[in-house]
Amino acid sequence: MSFAHHGKPRMKRLALPLFLGLCAFVGGHTAAWLGPRWTATVQAQPATGTLIPPSPVASDILRISDRFEAVARRVGPTVVSIEATKPGNGPNQVKVKPVEETGSGVIVRLEGVPQFLVLTNNHVITGARPEQITISTHDGRLLRPGHVWADPESDIALLRLDQSDRLAAATLGDSDQVRVGQWVLAFGSPFGLSQTVTHGIISARERGQVSLGSTIRIKDFLQTDAAINPGSSGGPLVNLDGEVIGINTAIASQSGGNSGVAFSIPVNLVKRVARQLLERGSVSRGYLGLQLAPSFEPADALRLGLDRVQGALVETVYPDTPAAAAGLKPNDVILQLDGTPIRNENHLINWVSTLPVGRRVRLSVWRDRQLVQLEAVIGDWSQAQGRFRTAP
């Protein structure tokens, strides 16, 4: 879960061991109208009694504050705390005391599904059976999921709630429309403190250079400086329209606490994975059969004759794979796929994973200081993953 070496920040997933304890659940109210309450505040001048209108800056601050409050009132009732009891395994699979962890989640509705669903992270509930998972609502009710779906490769989990009375559902937004610098609110249960809300901005998009363990391959995070801490995993990241744009997943930290660098799974990815989990029980993904360099440095680009760092550098081509059949070789740099520039290795992995099995694609490849055009046929990752656990 980390790459903490020689002073580099440590990536930490945010499920929280239960030994820290849970605080009492905070009661909430039903969802209210989201629009801002435009406050007509004035300032009194004591000496003369003259009323002075607030400055434009003060008015802007009040409007932002009112919007934060409105979003918190609307989204708060949809946020839940999650406790999961997981089997304990020591060295050589020796059973030890079960591990109890806490995280967060958000209640949603998806088209065609009559029940309410809870979105959270796979690492919050992995290894726990439905009867070992407790979901606490904003008003203190305790629920068990009727069914659990999970996708370890994207760290997304979906819990079905068969109880349908008096539950509020959050609205899912469009993460493709998220802008750097945009205000956001993060909801969750950091350190077991349920119904916690923090604020910040979107610091960056499409972050993929995040090490979170061997099971997570699909990494395309929104970065935020909203305060997120252990126990916040699975909680929603929300825009100022009250729409969920991400699921909080990890932090970069030297100490394990908030450092202003946190990562959320974009909600559009969550929606795609959730739909496949509901329809098929698993996620279908394409693959080529490559090992890509985890980093592509300026020195590497110059050595290969490129004038900028771009594309995905091939380290290994596995035999009997679509990549081998296409003629890809080590030290190739894949610059484009079907005419679209490849930003980095993570961009290529994520894109290939979304392509249908059997699709023929065109690859623009930099080889021996010249451009080469190749064709590849996307393979079925579900059949190949036993052989190539880390291949794109």
For the stretch 81-114, pLDDT in tens is 999 998 866 666 666 677 888 999 999 999 888 9
Give 29 or 296, the one with higher predicted confidence: 296
Q: Are residues 34 and 74 in the same domain?
A: yes
Residue 338 has pLDDT above 50, yes or no: yes
b/e 140-167 (16+ beta carbons within 10 angstroms → b): eeebebeebbbbbbbbbbbbbbeeeeeb
Give 182 or 49, the one with higher predicted confidence: 182
Q: Are residues 169 and 36 in the same domain?
A: yes
Set 123, 138, 199, 347: catalytic member: 123
139/156 Cα distance (integer angstroms):
25
Q: Are residues 369 and 222 in the same domain?
A: no
Sequence letter at residue 346: N
**Single residue among 283, 310, 326 that ends a domain in this structure:** 283
Give 62 or 384, the one with higher predicted confidence: 62
Least confident of 49-53, 133-137, 190-194: 49-53
Taking only the tens place, the pLDDT of each residue in 1-47 is 333 333 334 455 565 544 333 232 233 332 333 333 333 343 444 44
**Single residue among 283, 318, 346 that ends a domain in this structure:** 283
Mean pLDDT, the chain, whole residue set: 82
Residue 264 has pLDDT above 60, yes or no: yes
**Nearest Cα to 390, choosing from 280, 272, 288, 302?**
288
Structure confidence at residue 14 (pLDDT): 62
Q: Give the domain range for residue 365.
A: 286-384
**Single residue among 283, 306, 341 that ends a domain in this structure:** 283
Q: Are residues 279 and 294 in the same domain?
A: no
Q: Are residues 222 and 349 in the same domain?
A: no
Q: Is residue 212 part of a domain?
A: yes
CATH number where 227 lies: 2.40.10.120
269/187 Cα distance (integer angstroms):
19
155 a catalytic residue: yes
CATH number where 348 lies: 2.30.42.10
Least confident of 96-100, 120-124, 197-201, 357-361: 96-100
Least confident of 54-63, 126-135, 159-168, 325-334: 54-63
Place of tokens 């699709």: 359
Q: Are residues 12 and 66 in the same domain?
A: yes
Q: Is residue 331 part of a domain?
A: yes
311/295 Cα distance (integer angstroms):
11
Taking only the tens place, the pLDDT of each residue in 151-172 is 998 999 999 999 777 899 999 9
Q: Are residues 45 and 91 in the same domain?
A: yes
Q: SS3 letters for the chain?
A: CCCCCCCCCEEEECCEEHHHCCCCCCCCCCCCCCCCCCCCCCEECCCCCCEECCCHHHHHHHHHHHHHHHHHHHHHHHEEEEEEEEEEECHHHCEEEEEEEEEEEEEECCCCCCCEEEEEEHHHHCCCCHHHEEEECCCCCEECCCEEEEECCCCEEEEEECCCCCCCCEEECCHHHCCCCCEEEEEECHHHCCCEEEEEEEEEEEECCCCCCCCCCCCCEEEECCCCCCCCCCCEEECCCCEEEEEEEEEEECCCCCCCCEEEEEHHHHHHHHHHHHHHCCCCCEECCEEECCCCCHHHHHHCCCCCCCCEEEEEECCCCHHHHHCCCCCCEEEEECCEECCCHHHHHHHHHHCCCCCEEEEEEEECCEEEEEEEECEEHHHHCCCCCCCC
Count of structural domains within the chain: 2
Structure confidence at residue 255 (pLDDT): 65
233 a catalytic residue: yes
Set 155, 220, 225, 332: catalytic member: 155
Give 43 or 228, the one with higher predicted confidence: 228
Q: Is residue 335 part of a domain?
A: yes
Q: Is residue 389 part of a domain?
A: no
140/26 Cα distance (integer angstroms):
7
Q: Are residues 47 and 14 in the same domain?
A: yes
Q: Are residues 314 and 198 in the same domain?
A: no
Structure confidence at residue 250 (pLDDT): 83
Q: Is residue 391 part of a domain?
A: no
Q: Are residues 254 and 303 in the same domain?
A: no
Least confident of 233-242, 248-257, 279-288: 248-257
268/45 Cα distance (integer angstroms):
51
Full-model pTM: 0.77
Set 81, 194, 203, 233: catalytic member: 233
Q: Is residue 354 part of a domain?
A: yes
Q: Is residue 67 part of a domain?
A: yes
Q: Are residues 292 and 351 in the same domain?
A: yes
Q: Is residue 209 part of a domain?
A: yes
Residue 55 has pLDDT above 60, yes or no: yes
Q: Are residues 260 and 300 in the same domain?
A: no
Q: What is the mean pLDDT of the segment spanning 233-240?
A: 96
364 a catalytic residue: no
